[in-house]
Structure formats: C-alpha cells, structure tokens
C-alpha cells in the first residue's frame, strides 16, 4: 500500500505539500487521488484533520464544472436527514457498493479483453440473432428472401 501524502491547509486557504515542499491546489490533490494515492490534509494552525472537508470541496468543484453531482431528491434527503440516517449508509454501505461495482467492472473488462484475444465470435452471444434471421433483408440488400446471396 502506498504511503499517504500529507498536506497542510493554511488559514489563507492555501494547501502545502509537505513531501514536495511546495504549494498545491485542489487539482493537484485530485490528480494524486486519481493516481491511486491516499491523502491526508491537516489544518496547520489547529492540527485538526480536515481531509473530509477538502475531499468534499473537490467533489463540489468537480460537480460545479459539470453542473451535476447527485440527483436533487437525494440531495434533499441528505440535507433533511443529515447525520441521523444517511451517516450510517454512507459509512457502511455506499463505500462497499462502489468497491463492488469497480471490482465487477474490472473483472468484466478483463474477461472481455480475454475474449478479444482468443477471437470469440460474439454474434453467437446475441439471443435475438436467430429470431431476426427469419425476416428477409430489404429488397435492395445482397440477400434474397430465401437467405441466399444474390450474384451481381
């Protein structure tokens, strides 16, 4: 497992990368996370862990760029029930759901790549293929109504 990147957040909203000894912005932290790195952000004055706040800020900035994050009804529920009900859901279930989804997607992509390497005929996977074969092609198609190819 990779070592956590440590950032310090100063009162002027600047973020400081302690490993590189340089100031960074939210895009730099986003890039590090997308590279698979873990990050931790500490308030320089109070020594409080503000990682959750910074990561939430990154998500909000990303959603503002795309003008969409979560469906409005879900946002209303989050605000309405706040910590009471949704806190447990987010802590226990949502993370696991996303991990399972990503794992399944990776496994499916891997299997599909293997099929491509082997050269599997994917047309056999289409359950409607035989059903659609009973219909003749259009009159100007190279296939006649009896399924034979017309000779030019």
Percent above pLDDT 70 for the chain: 71
Q: Is the pTM of this model over 0.75?
A: no
**What average pLDDT does the segment 9-32 reach?**
93
- Identify the band that residue 12 occupies on the pLDDT scale cut at 50, 70 and 90: confident
- Identify the band that residue 16 occupies on the pLDDT scale cut at 50, 70 and 90: very high
Q: What is the pLDDT of residues 50-106, one digit of tens each?
A: 998 999 899 888 888 776 667 778 777 777 776 666 677 777 788 888 889 999 999
Mean pLDDT of the chain: 79
pLDDT at 89: 76
pLDDT at 93: 82
pLDDT at 139: 59
**What average pLDDT does the segment 41-47 reach?**
95
The yes-or-no verdict on residue 151 having pLDDT over 60 is no
The yes-or-no verdict on residue 25 having pLDDT over 50 is yes
pLDDT at 128: 57
Buried b (16+ CB within 10 A) or exposed e, 81-115: eeeeebeeeeeeeeeeeeeeeeeeeeeeeeeeeee
- For residue 88, give the H/E element and its range: helix 72-88
| Number of helices and strands in the chain (H, E) | 5, 4
Alpha carbon of 130 to those of 18, 57, 90, 122, 137: distances in Å? 63, 53, 46, 14, 14
pLDDT at 132: 53
Give the tokens for residue 129. 């293929």
């Amino acid at each position: 497992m990779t070592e956590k990147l440590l950032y310090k957040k100063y009162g002027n909203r600047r973020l400081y990368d302690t490993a590189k000894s340089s100031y960074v912005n939210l895009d730099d932290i986003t890039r590090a996370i997308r590279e698979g790195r873990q990050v931790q952000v500490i308030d320089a004055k109070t020594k409080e862990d503000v990682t959750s706040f910074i990561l939430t800020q990154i998500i909000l900035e990303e959603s503002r760029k795309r003008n969409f994050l979560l469906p409005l009804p879900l946002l209303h529920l989050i605000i309405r029930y706040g910590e009471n009900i949704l806190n447990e859901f987010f802590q226990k279930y949502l993370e696991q759901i996303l991990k399972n989804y990503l794992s399944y997607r990776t496994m499916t992509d891997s299997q599909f790549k293997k099929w491509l390497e082997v050269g599997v005929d994917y047309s056999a996977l289409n359950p409607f293929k035989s059903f659609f074969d009973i219909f003749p092609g259009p009159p100007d198609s190279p296939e006649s109504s009896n399924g034979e190819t017309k000779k030019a």
